[in-house]
Amino acid sequence: MLTRREWMRQAAGVTAVAAMPGLLGSKGHAKTPSSDDQAISGAGSLKAHAAARGLLTGCAVNANLLREDEGFRKLLAEQYNIVVPENCMKWNILRPTADTYNFTDADSLVAFAETHGMKVRGHNFVWHEALPGWFATAVNKGNAQKFLVDHIRTVGGRYTGKMHSWDVVNEAIWIPDGRPDGMRTSSPWFQMLGPGYIDLAFRTARAADPTALLTYNDYSIEYDNDEEGKKRTAVLALLRRMKADKVPLDALGIQSHIHSVSKDGFSRGVSELIEGAKALGLQVFVTELDVNDDAIDTDDMAERDKIVAEVYRNYLTAALNGTEVKAVLTWGASDKNTWLNHGTKFRKQHPDRTQRPLPFDPEYAPAPAFFAMRECFDNAKKR
């Protein structure tokens, strides 16, 4: 069995982190690399390897870390050419009351990206989650349309010309709700406005920001099984219907919250999504990639990291086959902050263990998944 140190050495080749003086801590964990570490920064960074293939690569940014953690800011600037807010452009953060907006964190992220020459994805205008406490009492069938349109005009308008893309509608399909078109009927937007809220959101977004790529974003559509196949079919049918109705739509976001252990593969699923999007002239983005490692039996960290990296490699090999996928973003950069470690919901099989789903470990050292990502970028065709 390889130790983490041996794995790093093997994964990164002769000029690897392990071979560089000072980069390994006493416990064999890699330390935060210095900016002159050419093994993983500069020409060795994720963004350099991605850009060589015409790809964008980025991660979800936690506003607290951006504000308080210099190591995190350094990592972002060093590794990525696109960022997406993890939470600070959601309604519950932007809308403290029904009549006011708080753009503090969103503005900081956009300014940080501008300073460092990074693009920004907006996430998101319309979702059934992350709504503020006042929403349920203040918004009703009579005024929901005005709330939705005002929100998109105000937020989209504020950042117009600065955004690479916007997740205009997030997670609108939910097969268990039982509708033939797969629409999520439990969404307050659906309940107040009916299925037409989707077209309304996209048309309003185009008017508010004519240059951002307008994206439909969803999850659990990647694997080759019946359940995800049904959801995938419904998502593609929705996009096809929108295109037929001339709704402004530019891209499909495949969230890609995948698992370390699964009985199903994803190469057919991913290629169905990509082919479906291609037929409609849409770009495709991998928007929220991470690998839930709860089901890995061994507690050996190096082994776990290796398995996670293998899943990254398999997934990105499928996703980057062809040239439709233009951006690869992970949901967070480092295991220091991942939604999979919020509470214990995602620690069912190993309650005492924190997850390691991302390309950088909690100390911001590259994990094997980092090297898998780079390798997949290298193997991709030029966009």
Q: Which residue is nearest to ligand 9MR (CB)?
A: 339
Stretch in the footprint of ligand 9MR (CB under 6 A) among 22-30, 83-91, 203-211, 366-374: 83-91
Tokens of 21: 């003086």
Q: Is 218 in the site for ligand 9MR (CB under 6 A)?
A: no
Nearer residue to ligand 9MR within complex by CB, 285 or 371: 285
Q: Is 339 in the site for ligand 9MR (CB under 6 A)?
A: yes
Q: Give Cα 146 to chain centroid, integer Å.
A: 29
Q: CB of residue 300 vs ligand 9MR: minimum separation in angstroms?
A: 27
Q: CB of residue 286 vs ligand 9MR: minimum separation in angstroms?
A: 13
Tell me the C-alpha distance between 251 and 214, whole Å: 6
Q: CB of residue 130 vs ligand 9MR: minimum separation in angstroms?
A: 4
Sign of CA dihedral 229, 235, 238, 242: negative
Please identify which of the residues 86, 171, 222, 324 carries the catalytic annotation. Answer: 171
Nearer residue to ligand 9MR within complex by CB, 33 or 122: 122
| HSE toward the beta carbon, residue 236, CA cutoff 13 A | 22
H or E stretch covering 137: helix 135-138
Q: Is 294 in the site for ligand 9MR (CB under 6 A)?
A: no
Residue 367 is classified by DSSP as P
Partners of 197 in the beta sheet? none
Q: Is 187 in the site for ligand 9MR (CB under 6 A)?
A: no
Q: Is 131 in the site for ligand 9MR (CB under 6 A)?
A: no
Q: CB of residue 288 vs ligand 9MR: minimum separation in angstroms?
A: 5
CB atoms inside a 10 Å sphere around CB 96: 13
Locate the DSSP E strands across 237-314. 251-254, 257-259, 283-292
Stretch in the footprint of ligand 9MR (CB under 6 A) among 27-35, 82-90, 199-207, 239-247: 82-90
Q: Does residue 338 contact residue 279 with C-beta atoms inside 8 Å?
A: no
Q: Give Cα 247 to chain centroid, integer Å.
A: 24
Among the listed residues 41, 81, 87, 260, the single contact to ligand 9MR using CB under 6 A: 87
Tell me the C-alpha distance between 197 and 190, whole Å: 7
Q: CB of residue 8 vs ligand 9MR: minimum separation in angstroms?
A: 28
Distances 341 to 10, 90, 344 between C-alpha atoms, Å = 29, 20, 7
Nearer residue to ligand 9MR within complex by CB, 23 or 168: 168
Which amino acid is it at 268?
R
Tell me the C-alpha distance between 183 and 166, whole Å: 20
Q: Is 130 in the site for ligand 9MR (CB under 6 A)?
A: yes
The count of chain residues that interact with ligand 9MR, using the rule CB under 6 A, is: 10
Q: CB of residue 159 vs ligand 9MR: minimum separation in angstroms?
A: 18
Q: Is 60 helix (H, G, I), strand (E, B) or coil?
A: strand
Q: CB of residue 90 vs ligand 9MR: minimum separation in angstroms?
A: 6
Residue with tokens 């299925």: 195
Stretch in the footprint of ligand 9MR (CB under 6 A) among 11-19, 86-94, 194-202, 366-374: 86-94
H or E stretch covering 215: strand 213-218
Tell which residue, 82, 19, 27, has the closest CA to residue 50: 82
Does residue 171 have an active-site annotation?
Answer: yes
Q: Does residue 76 contact residue 61 with C-beta atoms inside 8 Å?
A: yes
Stretch in the footprint of ligand 9MR (CB under 6 A) among 85-93, 107-115, 186-194, 276-284: 85-93
Q: Is 129 in the site for ligand 9MR (CB under 6 A)?
A: yes
Residue 124 is classified by DSSP as E
Nearer residue to ligand 9MR within complex by CB, 86 or 105: 86
Residues in contact with ligand 9MR by CB under 6 A are 86-87, 90, 129-130, 170, 219, 255, 288, 339
So which residues are the catalytic ones? Answer: 171, 288
